[in-house]
Structure 1
Amino acid sequence: MSDSTARSDSPLARLVSIPTSSEPLDGLFYEPEGGATAGAVLIMHGNCMNFYSGPARFLPKVLVEQGFACLAYNRRGHDILVTPLHRAASGGAYQLIDEAREDNRLASQWLANRGFGTPAVIGHSNGGMLAVQHVADHPDTPALVLLSAHKGGLGILPAISAAGLFAEDKLDERISTAEQMVAEGRGRDLLLLPNWWHVISAGSLIDYSSRLPEMLDVAPQVACPVLYIRGDQESAEIYPAEVFAERQGRTQVEIIENCNHFYAGRETAVTDLVAPWLRQTMSQP
Structure 2
Amino acid sequence: MLADLVDVTTEDEIPLNGAYLAPSITARRSRIDCLCFFHGDGGHFYRPLYLELGARLAAQGIAFLSANRRGHDIVSNGARGGALQGYAHESVDHARFDYAAWIELLQARGHRAIALAGHSGGAVRAVYTQSKMHFESVEAVIAISPGEYHHQGLIDLHGEVFVDTYQQAQSLLDQGQPDVYLRPGMPFGATWSARAFVDCFHPDGRYSVTARAQQTGCPTLFVFGAEECAGPQILPLCGAAMQRLRDAAYGHVTVKVIDGANHGYEGRDAELFEVLRDWLMGV
TM-score (norm: length of structure 1): 0.81
- Name 1:113's counterpart in structure 2: 108
What's the secondary structure of 2:227's corresponding residue?
Answer: coil
Runs of 4+ in structure 1 over 4 Å off: 33-38, 83-89
Report the number of matched residues: 265
Unaligned runs of 5+ in 2: 230-237
**Does residue 59 of the first structure (1) align with residue 53 of the second (2)?**
yes
The CA deviation at 1:253 is 2.7
Q: Percent identity?
A: 26
Amino acid at match of 2:224: R
- Of 143, 146, 151 in structure 1, the residue corresponding to residue 143 of structure 2 is 146
Are the equivalent residues in 2 in contact too, given 1:108–1:118 (CA < 8 A)?
no
Task: State the superposition RMSD in angstroms.
Answer: 2.8
- Of 17, 25, 30 in structure 1, the residue corresponding to residue 7 of structure 2 is 17
1:45 and 1:155, CA in 2 relative to 1: closer, same or farther beyond 3 A? farther
2: CA distance between counterparts of 1:104 and 1:156? 28
The CA deviation at 1:131 is 1.5
Are the equivalent residues in 1 in contact too, given 2:134–2:217 (CA < 8 A)?
no
Amino acid at match of 2:265: Y
Pairing of 1:171-250 with structure 2 (within 5 A): 171-194=162-185, 196-210=188-202, 212-235=206-229, 237-240=239-242, 243-244=245-246, 246-250=248-252
**Does residue 135 of the first structure (1) align with residue 136 of the second (2)?**
no
Amino acid at match of 1:23: I
1: CA distance between counterparts of 2:123 and 2:243? 11
1: CA distance between counterparts of 2:216 and 2:268? 28
2: CA distance between counterparts of 1:106 and 1:36? 27
Could you report, residue by residue, the CA deviation over 1:81-121 in whole angstroms, capped at 9, with x for unpaired residues? 23477897431111112212221222222212332124112
TM-score (norm: length of structure 2): 0.81
What's the secondary structure of 2:167's corresponding residue?
Answer: helix
Amino acid at match of 1:116: H
Pairing of 1:155-174 with structure 2 (within 5 A): 155=152, 157-158=154-155, 162=158, 170-174=161-165
1:241 and 1:78, CA in 2 relative to 1: closer, same or farther beyond 3 A? farther
Amino acid at match of 1:50: H
1: CA distance between counterparts of 2:206 and 2:264? 22
